[in-house]
Structures are given as structure tokens and as C-alpha cells.
Amino acid sequence: MAFIAEGTPIVLDVRLEGLHDGILVSAEVSTVASGECVRCLDEVSLPIEVEFQELFAYSPTEELEFSVHDNHVDCEPLIRDAVVLELPFQPLCNEDCWGLDPETGEKLSEPRSATSSDIDPRWAALEALASDTTTTADKPAAKKRT
Ligand SMILES: [Zn+2]
């Protein structure tokens, strides 16, 4: 799980527009999330860029969750929600990360070559079934009766 480390700068590009019923806030938020690659556990920094738009009502109404207080709009909850929703659940150091070797624990730089010894003998019967399925699927379907 990725997170925003304490002290990480958050860059905001905010536009405020006065409308007849409130202030429309449009913002672009950029920051950097930290986390661990779910495959190799390396530390990763992930750029986060997210936009949001919210109307702050001059007078509180039932439809609008946010309103202007003392001529101020409080964007903090919006920024937090926008960024949190953008955080990846399964951060990767690289889309092609091969993860760790289950035997040595070393980070793999290429796909692990599957050798027959990797297959648990208890699953060998299933493997035979799996190959059967493939062969059957390749055969042309039985003719339909008309
Ligand atoms: Zn990785």
C-alpha cells in the first residue's frame, strides 16, 4: 500500500470562480507517494497527479456538502480524498518487475524459468488434467444435429 510520507510537498494549482450560488474550486494536485513494490519489496516513489472540482455554496444547502466560511474555502478534505483515492493498492517498482526468487529471496531480473522440480508432486495429476483440457479445446466442436 502506498502512502504520502510526512513532509512530502503537495503542489496545488487552484482556480476559484465566483458563481451566483457559490465558489467553484478547480484544482490540480501533484505529489509523490511512497510505498513498497508488492512483488520485490523495493521502496518506490510514485508520482500522483489528480484533479478535482467542487462548488462551495455561499449559504449551506442540503445538496452541497461544502460551503464558504468567513470568506474562506477549506480544500484540505478534498485534497486528501482526491489523493487517497489515487494511491495505488499494489504499487510496483516497474510494470515488468519479476519479484523475488522464492528459493533465494533475491530480486529477479528476468522471469524465473520453471523447471519440473518446481512442481509439487501432489499437483502433478492436476497438471496432466490441465494439458488434457488444452488438447480437447483445440479439437473442432462436435457437429450440431439439425
Ligand atoms: Zn519490484
Q: If pLDDT is split at 50, 70 and 90, which confidence band does 61 have?
A: confident
Burial letters 44-68, b for 16+ CB under 10 A, else e: bebebebebebbbbeeeeeeeebbe
Count structural domains, the chain: 1
Q: Specify if 121 maps to a domain.
A: no
Q: Specify if 20 maps to a domain.
A: yes
Distance (angstroms) between ligand 1 centre and the Cα of 144 equals: 50
Q: Specify if 64 maps to a domain.
A: yes
Q: If pLDDT is split at 50, 70 and 90, which confidence band does 145 have?
A: low
Q: Specify if 130 maps to a domain.
A: no
Q: Specify if 144 maps to a domain.
A: no
Q: Specify if 68 maps to a domain.
A: yes
Distance (angstroms) between ligand 1 centre and the Cα of 100 equals: 8
Distance (angstroms) between ligand 1 centre and the Cα of 27 equals: 32
Range of the domain at 28: 11-86
Grid cell digits, residue 112: 524465473
Distance (angstroms) between ligand 1 centre and the Cα of 92 equals: 5
Q: Is the pTM of this model over 0.75?
A: no
Tell whether the model's pLDDT for residue 140 goes beyond 80.
Answer: no
Distance (angstroms) between ligand 1 centre and the Cα of 108 equals: 9
Task: Decide: 8 and 96 in contact? Cβ < 8 Å.
Answer: no
Task: Decide: 6 and 34 in contact? Cβ < 8 Å.
Answer: no
